[in-house]
Chain A
Amino acid sequence: MLKQIANWFRRGKMENGLDRELRYHVERRTNDLEKSGLPAEEARRRALAEVGGISQVQEEVRDVWLSRWLRDFSYDLRFSARSFFRTPAFCVTAVLSLVLGIGATTAIYSLVDQVLLHALPVRQPERLVLINWDGDTVANGFGSWDLMSYPICRDLDKQKDFFDGVLCRAFAPVNLSTNGDSRPATAEIVSGNYFAVLGVAPALGRVIEQDDDGVANANPVAVLSYDFWQMQFGGATDVVGRKVLVNSHPLMIIGVAAPTFKGVDVGEVPAIWVPASMSSQVIPGFENLLDRRTRWMQILGRLNYGMTLEQAQAGLQPWFKAMLQEDMHLASFPVVTPERRQAFLNSTLELTAAPQGHSTLRRRLKQPLWVLLAVTAVLLGLACLNVSGLFLARGSARDREIATRLALGASPWRIGRQLLADSLLIAFVGGLLGIAVAPIAVRALVAFIPRGAAPMALHAGVDSRLLLFAFVVSVTAGLLSGLAPSWQAGRRSVAQSLRERGGTGFGGVRLRKIIVTAQIALTLTLVVGAALFLRSLDALMAKGPGFSTTSLVSFGVDSLRNGYSPADGKLLMRRIDEAIRASSITQSSAIARFAFLTGGSWNNPMTIFADKRITTDREVNMDSVTPGFFQTMGVQILAGRNFDERDMHETVGKLGPTIVNEAFVKRYLGGRNPIGLRVASGGGPDAKPEAEIVGVMSDFSYRGLREESEQAFFPFFAGEGTGGTFYVKVRGTPESFVTSLRAIVHDVDPRLAITDLRTVNEQLDRSLNTEHLLATLSSSFGTLALLLSLVGLYGVMSFVVTQRTREIGIRLALGATRWSAIWLVLRDASAMIVTGIGIGLLFVLALGRLVQAQLYDVKSFDPAAIAVTVVILCSAGLAAALIPAHRASGVSPTDALRVE
């Protein structure tokens, strides 16, 4: 096959050779025959006859060079290309439709591939599994999802019957300093076997090994990521042995990881890797590395050869159950209710295939990305239908040519193949241009993706996988667009073609109407989808976070990560707080230990000591704030009192006075007055009263706008108070004060690294990134879809009017009114629109489940969204049909009859 394609490119030379070869044969034969006594004329005739016709032999040899269909197809393609150059407008319209469809699909697929499908660049990623605890861990934790403790990872690593090694890892933001200048960066805390289990080699020096992860704090080493090494050290080879400061603790660089390896999370790319033994340096104040009940790491295992996921999962349970029993009898096991104890014992280990590693980004984007891929697939389908319609329209203009070819003996199949070549050529050009625009689209898309502190490993490049995808999509699009026209051509007979007079063939109108109906159905689906996403976004925006974001700026400070002791850190926070409050640009300001609208929270179950003990049935979101919080954020104190300066002193072992929100009072106290009730953090039977409710605040969003949660807030400096997020309400527009705020902090400590300095409105937008992404893309795709189908509708109706000019003329001559002529056309159009809408509604019903999770305050079969869409489609569709209808009403009976 490859040889044959190569032959096609050097066919000129080959033809020439064959020509000489045959000529030589014939001349030698003629010569020989002449020698045997034949006259020259006769000898030549005989020689030619023996060969059986030069051109026949040539044809047969060409069939050897290139199999017959390939040759014919190349002729078809050439013919198509020539005919396209004669009709550039048609060609450009068709190509643009496909560029749109293929470009959009390829761009979204690029993200789907990178975020959801692409396996890690490690040794045999298909054998990696994520190991997760399914049940109650009876543990405290921090981090994202699928968390377990470090000692359990070490236990799992010993299960050599199943695993060829089990690693654990956690992601941690750090302050990283390479040359005195401290800046926020990301570290991945890993078990000593991390690189060995993954099979990742160093690009320089060595990677972290088991011995580095022995005694706590004994091995201050780090491995740099390749990109960080290039960026920060310019790829210097003498970097091994140098020191970096992680949260002001010196770590020695022992090596650089392989260039392609960017950690196991596509959404959080680490700058450095640090062994778990050093975790108390990476997470200041963290001393629970060896605590079995602190869950904070994801655990990934590499299955043994021949071990299936199911076998491993089943085989591990006996060991796991024994471990649960053992753990429960440890002295350190927390005191819990019998129900929780049972839930703990009922836990199982759950294994899931993890060739792509573990990623919170994937978890968050999985559904939106599939939805978007489905949307672009529909758009691509629409574009194909559009090209089909264009081809059919051109087909009827080409009736004469096709009829002639049929009459000359071409088979319908042959004609159909020619039309297929047309559409494949168009699709191929569309695909090439689509690949060219896809990176631009990907870059725009990546900007939409909610990002945390860490960089993401998403790129806009075109790799071989993407090329393959675009190629397959293009060929499919080509075949789909060519299907209807080819089928149409295949059906016609010579007699039928000849009966119709050139140019007025009736062929294809039915098919074109079906295509337009399908387009309207698909458009309805897309526009309803867009309306749903827009309404969700609107509802979220209208609801708002429940606090005032105007003139509000926030930034984070973590004194421990900057090398402060807890006592000095507290002092630092107080000094910054005072400096900001003293500044002339400040209206009011506050500190919160945990920031809002970031997706995360400090959460714990609580116990309320009312007339009886009440244990919360779900986690309560907690925070500690300074007294200025309520004024700064515009959160109302509905009952009781605000915190004051007296609350801002450390009360050892106690949370201090507590302010809960309305939802808390409603859920657990049935609206009773909570002031004076005592509470405790934790839901165990050993919980003792440690705080008193002093106030009730209005509800507002903590993690994100979608969430409604119970909250309990404590005084900031009564707790740890060594780090947190400052919220500053400034006088005037917040953007102008970003530099002033930086200067104020700089005055307090010039070397202090501050993070996430931005307006709260920006943070709000970021928290709605996924919703913005869906709403923006689906509404632009919906608009494009609408345009495509309107063009289709207009095209068909114009064609129908041209065809029926004579009929309309006769009707008018017989006394029909102009209105009835308009009605004639509109009725046709309405039939298509109504049928299309009907089918589209079925699609909406069927696809509703796919999007429901992405919606807010609106059902997937939302009558309002559907009504609006139907009105838009009907009015736009009728408007498009009105132009040809008007033309029909202007038909003059005499002219119409003269056309004949």
Chain B
Amino acid sequence: MKRFPIPQGTLDMLILQIVSLEPAHGYGIAQRLEQISKAIVQVNQGSLYPALHRLEQKGWLKAEWKESETGREAKFYALTAAGRKQLAAEKHDWARLAGAVQLIFGLGDKS
């Protein structure tokens, strides 16, 4: 099946969403992304880390070194209060956009 490159700007939103469930390290997030998108959306793993650091710098994520499930130290990212707000805003915007697109398609069908 054809895999879509991830739409611009949505990677940040997806990361925030994944981390909002529970704190996760980079590899964990990559795997989660892979599962959630059910291999429909293609995420370049290399672009994950710049995005994580960007979100951390903006203050939406906070990072902490903790022991991972394999017993080794890994950098875990968690959502901050500001990040939670941002995620809510982005979800809302996305819903509005999707709704609008649906509406336009609906109009086209009727005519």
Q: Enumerate chain A residues within 8 angstroms of B49, measured Cβ to Cβ.
A: 18, 21-22, 25, 57, 60-61
* B54 on interface, CB distance cutoff 8 Å: yes
- Chain B nearest CB from A54 CB (Å) reads 9
Complex Cα gap A29–B48 (Å):
14
Closest chain B residue, CB of each to CB of A7 = B57
* B75 on interface, CB distance cutoff 8 Å: yes
Chain B interface: which of A45-53, A213-221, A821-829? A45-53
* A702 on interface, CB distance cutoff 8 Å: no
B72 contacts A24, C-beta separation under 8 Å: yes
Q: Enumerate chain B residues within 8 angstroms of A10, measured Cβ to Cβ.
A: none
Contact count A vs B, C-beta below 8 Å: 56
A53 contacts B72, C-beta separation under 8 Å: no
* B108 on interface, CB distance cutoff 8 Å: no
Taking a contact as CB atoms closer than 8 A, the residue among A17, A25, A56 that contacts B27 in the complex is: A25
Taking a contact as CB atoms closer than 8 A, the residue among A25, A52, A64 that contacts B26 in the complex is: A25
A60 contacts B75, C-beta separation under 8 Å: no
- Chain B nearest CB from A880 CB (Å) reads 56
B57 contacts A52, C-beta separation under 8 Å: no
B45 contacts A65, C-beta separation under 8 Å: no
* B13 on interface, CB distance cutoff 8 Å: no
Q: How large is the interface on A (under 10, 10 to 19, 20 to 34, 35 or more residues)?
A: 20 to 34
Q: Enumerate chain B residues within 8 angstroms of A64, measured Cβ to Cβ.
A: 50, 53-54, 57
* A63 on interface, CB distance cutoff 8 Å: yes
* B74 on interface, CB distance cutoff 8 Å: yes
Complex Cα gap A65–B58 (Å):
11
Q: Enumerate chain B residues within 8 angstroms of A20, measured Cβ to Cβ.
A: 73, 75
* A3 on interface, CB distance cutoff 8 Å: yes
* A649 on interface, CB distance cutoff 8 Å: no
Encode contact with A along B61-103: 1 for CB under 8 Å, 0 otherwise: 0000100101011110000000000000000000000000000
Q: Enumerate chain A residues within 8 angstroms of B70, measured Cβ to Cβ.
A: 28
Closest chain B residue, CB of each to CB of A17 = B75
Complex Cα gap A60–B27 (Å):
18
Classify the secondary structure of A's interface with B: helix
**With A21-B75, A24-B27, A25-B30 as given contacts, are A61 and B45 in contact (CB-CB < 8 Å)?**
no
Interface residues of A in 1-57 (CB under 8 A from B): 3, 17-18, 20-22, 24-25, 28-29, 50-53, 56-57
- Chain A nearest CB from B35 CB (Å) reads 13
B46 contacts A60, C-beta separation under 8 Å: yes
Q: Enumerate chain B residues within 8 angstroms of A22, measured Cβ to Cβ.
A: 49
- Chain B nearest CB from A2 CB (Å) reads 12
Encode contact with B along A311-339: 1 for CB under 8 Å, 0 otherwise: 00000000000000000000000000000
B50 contacts A61, C-beta separation under 8 Å: yes
**With A17-B75, A21-B75, A24-B74 as given contacts, are A52 and B45 in contact (CB-CB < 8 Å)?**
yes
B53 contacts A61, C-beta separation under 8 Å: yes
**With A3-B57, A28-B70 as given contacts, are A63 and B50 in contact (CB-CB < 8 Å)?**
yes
B50 contacts A53, C-beta separation under 8 Å: no
A51 contacts B73, C-beta separation under 8 Å: no
Interface residues of B in 9-47 (CB under 8 A from A): 25-27, 30, 44-47
Q: Enumerate chain B residues within 8 angstroms of A21, measured Cβ to Cβ.
A: 25-26, 49, 74-75
- Chain A nearest CB from B17 CB (Å) reads 20
Q: How large is the interface on B (under 10, 10 to 19, 20 to 34, 35 or more residues)?
A: 20 to 34
- Chain B nearest CB from A11 CB (Å) reads 13
Complex Cα gap A237–B72 (Å):
67
A24 contacts B45, C-beta separation under 8 Å: no
Q: Which of B25, B26, B45 has the most CB of A within 10 A?
A: B45
- Chain B nearest CB from A367 CB (Å) reads 53
Q: Enumerate chain B residues within 8 angstroms of A28, measured Cβ to Cβ.
A: 27, 70
Closest chain B residue, CB of each to CB of A31 = B70
B50 contacts A57, C-beta separation under 8 Å: yes
Taking a contact as CB atoms closer than 8 A, the residue among A51, A63, A65 that contacts B46 in the complex is: A51
Complex Cα gap A51–B26 (Å):
12
Complex Cα gap A28–B68 (Å):
11
Classify the secondary structure of B's interface with A: helix
Complex Cα gap A17–B73 (Å):
11
Q: Enumerate chain A residues within 8 angstroms of B27, measured Cβ to Cβ.
A: 24-25, 28-29
Complex Cα gap A24–B26 (Å):
9
Complex Cα gap A22–B74 (Å):
10
Complex Cα gap A57–B27 (Å):
14
Complex Cα gap A61–B26 (Å):
13
B45 contacts A51, C-beta separation under 8 Å: yes
- Chain B nearest CB from A59 CB (Å) reads 9
Complex Cα gap A63–B57 (Å):
12
Complex Cα gap A60–B54 (Å):
10
B50 contacts A60, C-beta separation under 8 Å: yes
- Chain B nearest CB from A113 CB (Å) reads 39
Complex Cα gap A60–B25 (Å):
19
Q: Enumerate chain B residues within 8 angstroms of A61, measured Cβ to Cβ.
A: 49-50, 53
Taking a contact as CB atoms closer than 8 A, the residue among A18, A50, A65 that contacts B57 in the complex is: A65
Closest chain A residue, CB of each to CB of B26 = A25
Q: Enumerate chain B residues within 8 angstroms of A50, measured Cβ to Cβ.
A: 45-46
Interface residues of A in 781-824 (CB under 8 A from B): none
Complex Cα gap A28–B50 (Å):
19
A57 contacts B75, C-beta separation under 8 Å: no
Q: Enumerate chain B residues within 8 angstroms of A51, measured Cβ to Cβ.
A: 45-46
Complex Cα gap A60–B52 (Å):
11
Closest chain B residue, CB of each to CB of A26 = B27
Q: Enumerate chain B residues within 8 angstroms of A29, measured Cβ to Cβ.
A: 27
Q: Enumerate chain B residues within 8 angstroms of A63, measured Cβ to Cβ.
A: 50
Closest chain B residue, CB of each to CB of A28 = B27
A56 contacts B30, C-beta separation under 8 Å: no
- Chain B nearest CB from A53 CB (Å) reads 7
Complex Cα gap A25–B26 (Å):
7
Closest chain A residue, CB of each to CB of B46 = A52
Complex Cα gap A28–B70 (Å):
9
Complex Cα gap A64–B57 (Å):
8
Complex Cα gap A51–B30 (Å):
10
- Chain B nearest CB from A52 CB (Å) reads 3
Taking a contact as CB atoms closer than 8 A, the residue among A17, A18, A52, A65 that contacts B44 in the complex is: A52
Encode contact with B along A112-141: 1 for CB under 8 Å, 0 otherwise: 000000000000000000000000000000
Taking a contact as CB atoms closer than 8 A, the residue among A24, A25, A52, A65 that contacts B53 in the complex is: A65
Complex Cα gap A18–B53 (Å):
9
Q: Enumerate chain B residues within 8 angstroms of A65, measured Cβ to Cβ.
A: 53, 57
Complex Cα gap A52–B44 (Å):
8
- Chain A nearest CB from B50 CB (Å) reads 4
Complex Cα gap A22–B70 (Å):
16
Interface residues of A in 640-668 (CB under 8 A from B): none
Closest chain B residue, CB of each to CB of A25 = B27
Q: Enumerate chain A residues within 8 angstroms of B57, measured Cβ to Cβ.
A: 3, 64-65
- Chain A nearest CB from B47 CB (Å) reads 8
Q: Enumerate chain B residues within 8 angstroms of A25, measured Cβ to Cβ.
A: 26-27, 30, 45, 49
B74 contacts A53, C-beta separation under 8 Å: no
- Chain B nearest CB from A666 CB (Å) reads 83
Complex Cα gap A20–B27 (Å):
12
- Chain B nearest CB from A33 CB (Å) reads 12
Q: Enumerate chain B residues within 8 angstroms of A3, measured Cβ to Cβ.
A: 57
Closest chain B residue, CB of each to CB of A58 = B49
Q: Enumerate chain A residues within 8 angstroms of B44, measured Cβ to Cβ.
A: 52
Complex Cα gap A64–B25 (Å):
19
Complex Cα gap A569–B96 (Å):
95
Q: Enumerate chain B residues within 8 angstroms of A53, measured Cβ to Cβ.
A: 46
Complex Cα gap A57–B50 (Å):
7
B73 contacts A57, C-beta separation under 8 Å: no
- Having A24-B75, A60-B46, one finds 8 other A-B pairs with CB under 8 Å, namely A21-B49, A24-B68, A25-B27, A60-B50, A64-B50, A64-B53, A64-B57, A65-B57
Q: List, sorted by A's number, 28 A–B pairs whose CB atoms are closer than 8 Å.
A: A3-B57, A17-B65, A18-B53, A21-B26, A21-B49, A22-B49, A24-B25, A24-B26, A24-B73, A24-B75, A25-B27, A25-B30, A25-B49, A28-B27, A28-B70, A29-B27, A52-B44, A52-B45, A52-B46, A53-B46, A57-B50, A60-B46, A60-B47, A60-B49, A60-B50, A63-B50, A64-B53, A64-B57
- Please name the 9 residue pairs, one residue from A and one from B, whose CB atoms are nearest each other, closest first: A52-B46, A60-B50, A64-B53, A28-B27, A25-B27, A21-B75, A64-B54, A51-B46, A57-B46
